[in-house]
Structure 1
Amino acid sequence: MGEEISRDYHGERLLVVGVLRGAFMVMADLARHISIPVEFDFMAVSSYGSSTKTSGVVRILKDLDEEIADRHVLLVEDIVDSGLTLDYLLRTLRLRNPSSIELATLLLKEGTRQVPVEARYVGFRIAPEFVVGYGLDFDHLYRNQPYVGGLDEHAR
């Protein structure tokens, strides 16, 4: 993904925005593979009602520090699942008039979208199972695992 992003934004000023908390590992590793100069910012959102299901209600807990009007923005997420959170974030950020806004995600869960959300850069497409590790959590645990794996029903 890093090479593709570097080619696509060569000669442009790119702001890479990580969606906290889950995307912090993805963003750090992705940044190491982007060969063009970039700036970074973060947003934190909450949308999970229970530990495994989205509530559908999205709250911005930490907004951007940078203005994005007339800027190229790359939103980095750990996983695209229902699409509800990302749809809200993308609509909210588009109201701020960026030159462009695209989505990069480590994982795109197949067959779970409740709203259409397109990711321009996708690391892996996965089956609709609950996964943890590499930034992804269950009840705030397992983010530190150096891999992504399914979470056994009995561990929940």
Structure 2
Amino acid sequence: MPDRPYVIDEMISAKTIAARVEALAADITAHFADTDKLIVVGLLRGSFVFIADLVRELRLPVEVDFLEASSYGNSTQSSREVRILKDLRGEIEGRDVLVVEDIVDTGFTLSHVMHILQGRKPRRLEICALLDKPARREVPIKATWTGFEIPDEFVVGYGIDFAQRNRNLPYIGKVRFTQNAG
């Protein structure tokens, strides 16, 4: 449990998210209209709610797979090493692949994952991110489709956590640390 009291201020409503997911799915469906099957790769864990809603809106044959990557290092300076904790189950060579991410922040982990996946020779490889924080970018990477561009705020909800809490919120909220959580 977090050791500092905090409150969560709603930033993006569940209704706004649902409308944006529907629009993203329409754009993705049009882009991949000629595919025989789109492999949708969710980056765990934060993307699981987004990917579930997104694939239900896609009007394409889809296969869903997951990859979990972790950047690790001490809390003051990242080692910039990326470990793959869970790899894809299936092959992507010659296939159409959509990587679904919750937040593009520094871009470091996503860039590393995209490099690995590109080496597996997919036919097409695109990115859909729910949130983009361009103010934090350290590596030049941009999603093909982005749900929302947000300022450099610590956010939770809609699958995104703070110390494994708040993933179940139906909206995106900004975490605000307080003296008293009331």
* Global fold match (TM > 0.5): yes
Matching residue's letter, 1:10? A
Question: Aligned pair in 2 of structure 1 residues 10, 27: CA closer, same or farther (>3 Å)?
Answer: same
**Alignment correspondent of 2:28:** 5
By how many angstroms is 1:140 displaced?
A: 1.3
Matching residue's letter, 1:20? L
Q: 2:157 matched to 1:125?
A: no
SS of the residue corresponding to residue 88 of structure 2 reads coil
Structure 2 residues without counterparts, runs of 5 or longer: 1-23
**Alignment correspondent of 1:96:** 120
Matching residue's letter, 1:131? V
TM-score (structure 1 length as normaliser)? 0.92
Match runs of 1:74-153 below 5 Å:
74-153=98-177
Count the aligned residue pairs: 155
Structure 1 residues without counterparts, runs of 5 or longer: none
**Alignment correspondent of 1:24:** 48
Bigger radius of gyration? 2
Distance (Å, rounded) in 2 between the aligned partners of 1:139 and 1:54 = 18
Question: Aligned pair in 2 of structure 1 residues 153, 54: CA closer, same or farther (>3 Å)?
Answer: farther
User: Which of residues 83, 87, 104 is equivalent to 1:63?
Assistant: 87
By how many angstroms is 1:139 displaced?
A: 1.3
* Identity across the alignment (%): 48
By how many angstroms is 1:144 displaced?
A: 1.0
SS of the residue corresponding to residue 153 of structure 2 reads coil
- Structure with larger RCO (C-alpha < 8 A, sep 6+): 2
Distance (Å, rounded) in 2 between the aligned partners of 1:55 and 1:101 = 27
Distance (Å, rounded) in 1 between the aligned partners of 2:30 and 2:116 = 27
1:34-72 Cα offsets, whole Å, 9 max, x none, are 011111100111225578x86532211100001011111
SS of the residue corresponding to residue 151 of structure 1 reads strand
Question: Aligned pair in 2 of structure 1 residues 54, 139: CA closer, same or farther (>3 Å)?
Answer: farther
SS of the residue corresponding to residue 127 of structure 1 reads coil
Q: Aligned Cα RMSD in Å?
A: 1.9
